[in-house]
Structure 1
């Protein structure tokens, strides 16, 4: 099995290997029982993680209160429990997806309310960019799109454990999906867009103080500028995609929340969100927020999405909010004559 070029210490290699063996044993157990039984186990483990074990509890609770304002302790605890249940169930779905979902039965697992619109963009002669977040089961979505004959190239950061990372890469590529490293892949992305391929990106990760700052749930956050640049420079339509679990495990709604098509810049009234990298970044974050509000328990509140904001950025965003909230004065009769 391939591992990364860096040479960790012997103890680290043993730790990584034992962690990988433990993960494979858990996956074998998941694959040997029914998904319904796995769901029951996930609920028990989620209760322990949410109420007994302080696993990133402070980060989760802080994020929930930033996003939704004044929640009671009981409301936060319930969302925390449901989030852990979703994450654990997501692992179970990934473990069984290659055995359960095939080209002949995918429609038993996925409901696509705007299938024509989504496939129309992906089958267009131009390149396309699929944007989503750590919401729902995006991993199973990528696998399923691949077995349908529309495999995207996804950008992903390698995991710290190289053996687990290799296993996840094999799952992602099983349906034809290609994985591009998040660092140093600008040339590969450019070649992909020039060859009219499909790029898939998780767009809800903190990009540092030099990123593109926009509001997310009403609070400033930093986003990578490259995503909007890819769309605007390649004239590639952007689809904001949601894969939300419905009433049972391995049953999802895969929908397109919004499409930003640079071709609209040639229309008589081009949309404002295509006018700049800042505006497009703000637009797709609003769409991500829209999907998360549909099922907040299916979002990864584990990430530190909001961090210290530079004073100049806070001042600029506050002015933009004020301008947006101020109603425009009605034109006088003389100005319309």
Structure 2
């Protein structure tokens, strides 16, 4: 890295940190109004990724009119910008004594039981609500997790972002070369968390998501089977105002109960369907700006565990980006 590039990265990190300081200095209600204004600008003037989001919504909710889709896109941007504001405020306002003011827990008893057992656990979620808050909150409650994340090109910014994520016990595993660490976590009975709603490319497992085939990571199913790890589909949904959430468990699947001929496909479709049901309840809180359906299926089934080589598993793990 040249000295000029290094200085540029450092300058960007300084600017970002100052913006976060400014966001922390602004009351959340003011930040909420600012998020609404930015959402209007991104939707109706700049039209940032508008065509991608509109096409996704047109397929997912065919009964919506163009005006209804536009309104939903604007509400999506509002939630996204508000999430940034909330992340800036979280370390300052949330702690062990007051978290109940901000979070309602739903259907978590069975997950807590699983987390206290010796078996590993896999948490699956998507770009919905405030997923960053979820990892922070789990650590605050005494349940550390390990999450795969792409290393940012800016090393200063990468360290800054990961410092927030790991402040309460959310350990970050780098995307490149992280397969051995993931396997070590599961072997030790730890908890792995995956964002599982992005395209896995041509080699992914194609399952139905909002009525269309979507390339999905098969590594999650493979890891669940290989390490006897139950999968819990979890979410953090905003409840009408800034920093007010429902943090819940949609469903839990024990791999010991999966007896179908093609367990990887079954598990992959299962958690994808659970995510879809969560999103349908509050579609404005989902990131419709991803090109989730950009790949077309060329095979009808996912690989069974015995058909996948060690290199394929490693490659699949490397592509699970959070």
What CA distance in whole angstroms lies between the structure 1 residues aligned with 2:63 and 2:77? Answer: 21
| Aligned match of 2:317 | none
Q: What is the 5 A alignment of 1:52-71?
A: 52-71=45-64
Q: What is the 5 A alignment of 1:1-337?
A: 7=1, 12-265=5-258, 270=259, 272=260, 275-310=262-297, 312-313=298-299, 316=300
- Checking the alignment, whether the CA contact within 8 Å between 2:205 and 2:218 is kept in structure 1 is yes
Between structure 1 and structure 2, the one with the greater Rg is 1
Greater Cα offset, 68-77 or 277-286: 68-77
What's the CA shift for 1:148? 1.2
What's the CA shift for 1:13? 4.0
Any idea what the Cα deviations from partners look like across 1:273-303, whole Å, max 9, x if unmatched?
x951111101100001011111111111111
What's the CA shift for 1:70? 4.3
What CA distance in whole angstroms lies between the structure 2 residues aligned with 1:222 and 1:14? Answer: 39
Any idea what the Cα deviations from partners look like across 1:224-267, whole Å, max 9, x if unmatched?
211111101111110000110002111111111110112325xx
What CA distance in whole angstroms lies between the structure 1 residues aligned with 2:6 and 2:44? Answer: 32
**Cα gap change, 1:160 to 1:73, in 2 (>3 Å):** farther
Structure 2: gaps (5+ residues): 302-322
What's the CA shift for 1:11? 5.4
Relative to the length of structure 2, the TM-score reads: 0.89
What's the CA shift for 1:161? 3.1
SS at match of 2:106: coil
Any idea what the Cα deviations from partners look like across 1:153-184, whole Å, max 9, x if unmatched?
11111233333222110000000110011232
Report the RMSD for the aligned CA atoms in angstroms: 1.7
SS at match of 1:112: strand
Any idea what the Cα deviations from partners look like across 1:195-251, whole Å, max 9, x if unmatched?
100000101111110111111111111112111111011111100001100021111
| Aligned match of 2:318 | none
What CA distance in whole angstroms lies between the structure 2 residues aligned with 1:11 and 1:301? Answer: 36
Any idea what the Cα deviations from partners look like across 1:23-50, whole Å, max 9, x if unmatched?
2122111111211111111111111111
- Checking the alignment, whether the CA contact within 8 Å between 2:128 and 2:285 is kept in structure 1 is yes
What's the CA shift for 1:98? 0.7
What's the CA shift for 1:117? 1.7
What CA distance in whole angstroms lies between the structure 1 residues aligned with 2:290 and 2:15? Answer: 25
SS at match of 1:304: coil
Structure 1: gaps (5+ residues): 1-6, 318-337
How many aligned residue pairs are there? 301
